[in-house]
Amino acid sequence: MGIFKRLRSIQTNMVLASVFLIVLTIFIMSIISYYLTKDAVQSKAQAYTTELVKQVNNNIKSYVNGMKYMSDLAAGNHSVQEYLSNSTFSSLKEEKGYKEAISDMLESMLASRTDIASANVFGYGGQFVSGRKELELNPYIDIKTLGWYKNAQAAEGQNVLSPSHVQPVFKGRYPWVVSLSRELISKDGKKLGVFLVDLNFSVMNDMFKDIRLGQRGYLFIVDSDGKIVYHPQQQLVYSNLKSEKIEEVLAIKSGTFTSDEGRDSRMYTVQDSDFGWKIVGVSYVNELVGNQNEIRLSFVLWGLVCVLIAIVLSFFLSQRVSKPIKRLQDSMKEVEKGNFDIHVMVPKSIEIGRLARAFNIMVGKIKELMSQVVHDQEQKRKSEINALQAQINPHFLYNTLDSIVWMAESNKSKEVVLMTSALAKLFRASISKGEELVSIRTEMEHIANYLMIQKMRYKNKLDYEIDIGDTVYDYKTIKVILQPIVENAIYHGIKKKHGPGLIRITAEETAADIHIHIEDNGNGMDEEKLKSLLLPARDAEEGRGVGVRNVHERLMLYFGPEYGLSYNSKLGEGTKVTFRIPKSLRETEVEQ
């Protein structure tokens, strides 16, 4: 079966249509649900990141607030003010007293704080007091060059928070710290020195190190200048193996934005803190949606599975429709081949069921008609044989030959010739050719010959008249159709009657038909016999009935059921037989 032919089949069409619909539906649904899922997951991740960043902010804030608190205490401390503003002291003891008071104050601040590396006071007069007494200044470092020192001076009494850095001011130590520094100013506005408190950066590092946003996401902090306070991959950032959208981060106060880096797009969640730092959560967009490809692929695959199921379903559904049609088609093919002994199972579906039922009825009808045709043909053949038999009635032949013998004995040679030639014509007419139809003229000649023979046999007992107009001669009739009726008229009508009888043959023309009448004034029939005459023959009943019925049937078979014989008879008065034949054919037409 070619592809195009297959495309025209109902089943393929149904499968294709439903598959197309289902594929379309699944496709649209998949896309919609994919994006819905993606959005849902993304907003959830965003909310989570925001919450996390806020918490980190609060944690840092508590550290920074602690440092600020220390700075405030130190700035307002009487001993600090006194110690730094006096360049000369009355005694070394007094100076030492102030120094110890400050040291004790700072030490007490640090007592319970492992997160604070140191708290120190640097006087512009070169004074140095630390909360950790073991610390010594690094002789190779000039503190005036350090960032936290310069920034504090520039801020004039405000707290300054540095980014994470190495603190080199103490001998033999290079700790990573976050510094809060503040210029110390006396009540009368004199600049006295700088206060420094260092927070161990490892505290923050430990806090952030384990924060992971998804598989690869992380957290970083920048200060207001865009300097990195904390970044898990700081070295990669410095060596340009990684880049951060620092400018965008600085541009927005708090909120979320997404970098456009294709597969590696990152979502930045920025939280501004009130101490100048920005805490930034970075998550990879493609990670947010679980594994984006996985989701996409599973959508595609499940879509595919649905489509396959749909194909199978639609295949079976369409088969339910097309299978009975196919079965019907197969049966029709059988009928085409001539097998009418077929009964299609009526399927459950209404439409096809009706079709099947109608088909069954149709086949039944055809079968009936066929058998009727066969039957009719058989009848026809039988009646033809009968007709032949009727033509050569052996008794008629014996009697005629007897008559000829008798006439020859009486030396009536002229009559012998006449009768013998009439008999010869009679035989020739009935045997000649195979043609069924002859002109009425020929049929009349035939019956004239027959009647002549009978007249010569019965002498005065029989008279006959043939009175037919010229106009009907050329119409066609079945051959040897009058003879059996005339024979009946002689043997059953005239012969049984006392005295001479007359047979009269006339014809009359109507618009469409021709009526040929054969009348005798013989014995006639009673009503009962008349009725039984044209009814199907009962085999037992011989004689008159057989010939008559045979003639009637032949006429009906040839010309149709409306044609045939009709009888009129009265007992003792005679019988009139009427042939009705159509005017359909004329001799000349047939010859042409």
Question: CA-CA distance, 389 to 547, in Å (whole number)?
Answer: 10
Nearest-approach distance from CB 165 to other proteins, in angstroms: 6
Q: What's the min distance (Å) between Cβ of 35 and other proteins?
A: 21
Asked whether position 234 contacts other proteins by CB under 8 A, the answer is: yes
Quick one: 89 or 315, whose CB is closer to other proteins? 315
Q: Looking at beta carbons only, is 311 or 546 nearer to other proteins? A: 311
- Interaction residues for other proteins, span 147-186 (CB under 8 A): 163, 165-166, 168, 172, 174-176
Q: Which of 186, 224, 291, 421 binds other proteins (CB under 8 A)?
A: 291
CB of residue 216 to other proteins, shortest distance in Å: 5
Q: Does 311 bind other proteins (CB under 8 A)?
A: yes
Does the protein bind other proteins through residue 235 (CB under 8 A)? yes
- Our CB check for other proteins shows the closer of 302 and 398 to be 302
Integer Rg of the chain from CA = 67
**Residue 298 Cβ vs other proteins, minimum distance, rounded to whole Å:** 7
Q: Does the protein bind other proteins through residue 233 (CB under 8 A)?
A: yes
Does residue 476 contact residue 585 with C-beta atoms inside 8 Å?
A: yes
| H-run or E-run covering 527 | helix 527-533
- If one asks whether residue 298 binds other proteins (CB under 8 A), the answer comes out as yes
Nearest approach, Cβ of residue 257 and other proteins (Å) = 22
Binding mask 238-267 for other proteins (x = CB under 8 A): xx-x--------------------------
3-state SS class at 523: coil
Q: Which of 61, 99, 132, 326 binds other proteins (CB under 8 A)?
A: 326
Q: Phi/psi of residue 417, each to 5°?
A: -60, -45
By beta-carbon proximity to other proteins, the closer residue of 128 and 315 is 315
Token pair belonging to 554: 């032949």
Rounded distance between C-alpha atoms, residue 591 and residue 589, angstroms: 5
How far does CA 249 lie from the centroid of its chain? 54
Q: State how far the Cα of 364 lies from the Cα of 68, in Å rounded to an integer.
A: 110
- As beta bridge partners, residue 123 has 193
Q: Rank residues 59 and 202 by Cβ distance to other proteins and give the closer one.
A: 202
Q: Is residue 297 part of the contact set for other proteins (CB under 8 A)?
A: yes
- The answer to whether 380 touches 557, Cβ cutoff 8 Å, is yes
Among 78, 216, 354, 381, binds other proteins (CB under 8 A): 216
Q: How far apart are CA 244 and CA 249, in angstroms?
A: 9
Q: Would the CA dihedral through 138, 175, 81, 89 be positive or negative?
A: negative
Rank residues 316 and 398 by Cβ distance to other proteins and give the closer one. Answer: 316
Out of 68, 227, 583, 586, the only residue in the binding site for other proteins (CB under 8 A) is 227
**Neighbour-count burial for 124-159, b at 16+ CB within 10 Å, e otherwise:** beebebbbeeebeebeeeebeebebbebbbeeeeeb
DSSP string, 114-180: TTEEEEEEEETTS-EEESSTT--B-TT--GGGSHHHHHHHHHTTS-EEEEEEE--SBTT---EEEEE
**Binder to other proteins among 24, 32, 155, 309 (CB under 8 A)?**
309
CB of 109: closest distance to other proteins in angstroms? 22
CB of 315 to other proteins, least distance (A): 7
Q: HSE on the CB side for 386, CA within 13 Å?
A: 23
Q: Which residues of 520-535 are buried (b: 16+ CB within 10 A; e: fewer)?
A: bbbbbbeeeebeebbe
Between residue 381 and residue 420, which ones bind other proteins under the rule CB under 8 A?
Answer: none
Q: How many residues bind other proteins (CB under 8 A)?
A: 44
Query: Footprint of other proteins on residues 490-509 (CB under 8 A)?
Result: none
Where does this chain touch other proteins (CB under 8 A) — which range of 291-299, 442-450, 475-483, 550-558? 291-299
Stretch that binds other proteins, among 64-72, 294-302, 337-345, 575-583 (CB under 8 A): 294-302
Which 23-52 positions form the footprint of other proteins (CB under 8 A)?
Answer: none
Nearer to other proteins, 319 or 506 (CB): 319
Q: Of the listed pieces 29-37, 41-49, 138-146, 343-351, which binds other proteins according to CB under 8 A?
A: 138-146
> Which CB atom, from 294 or from 465, has the smaller least distance to other proteins?
294
Distance in Å, CB of 225 to other proteins, minimum? 10
Q: Rounded CA gap, 107 and 153, in Å?
A: 24
C-alpha pair distances (Å), 453 with each of 483, 485, 503, 520: 12, 16, 14, 17
Closer CB to other proteins, residue 176 or residue 473? 176
CB of 1 to other proteins, least distance (A): 8
335 phi and psi angles, rounded to 5 deg: -60, -40
Nearest residue to 279 via CA among 48, 50, 53: 53
Q: Which is nearer to other proteins, 141 or 530 (CB)?
A: 141
Minimum distance of other proteins from residue 270's CB (angstroms): 21
Give the interface segment with other proteins, choosing from 59-67, 100-108, 197-205, 358-366 (CB under 8 A). Answer: 197-205
Q: Does 301 bind other proteins (CB under 8 A)?
A: yes
Tell which one of 251, 304, 385, 431 touches other proteins (CB under 8 A): 304
> Which CB sits closer to other proteins, 295 or 556?
295
Query: How far, CA to CA in Å, does 584 sit from each of 294, 520, 564?
Result: 90, 28, 15
Closest to other proteins by CB, 200 vs 386, is 200
Find how far residue 267's CA is from the centre of its chain. Answer: 44
Q: Is 229 helix (H, G, I), strand (E, B) or coil?
A: strand
Q: Which helix (H) or strand (E) holds 514?
A: strand 513-520
Contact status: 205 vs other proteins (CB under 8 A): yes
Nearer to other proteins, 289 or 453 (CB): 289
Q: Are 534 and 567 in contact (CB under 8 A)?
A: yes
How big, in percent rounded to 5, are the helix, strand and coil portions of the chain? 55, 20, 25
86: left (phi over 0), alpha (psi -120 to 50) or beta: beta
Interacting residues toward other proteins by CB under 8 A: 1, 138, 140-141, 146, 163, 165-166, 168, 172, 174-176, 200-202, 205, 212, 215-216, 227-228, 232-236, 238-239, 241, 291, 294, 297-298, 301-302, 304-305, 308-309, 311-312, 315, 326
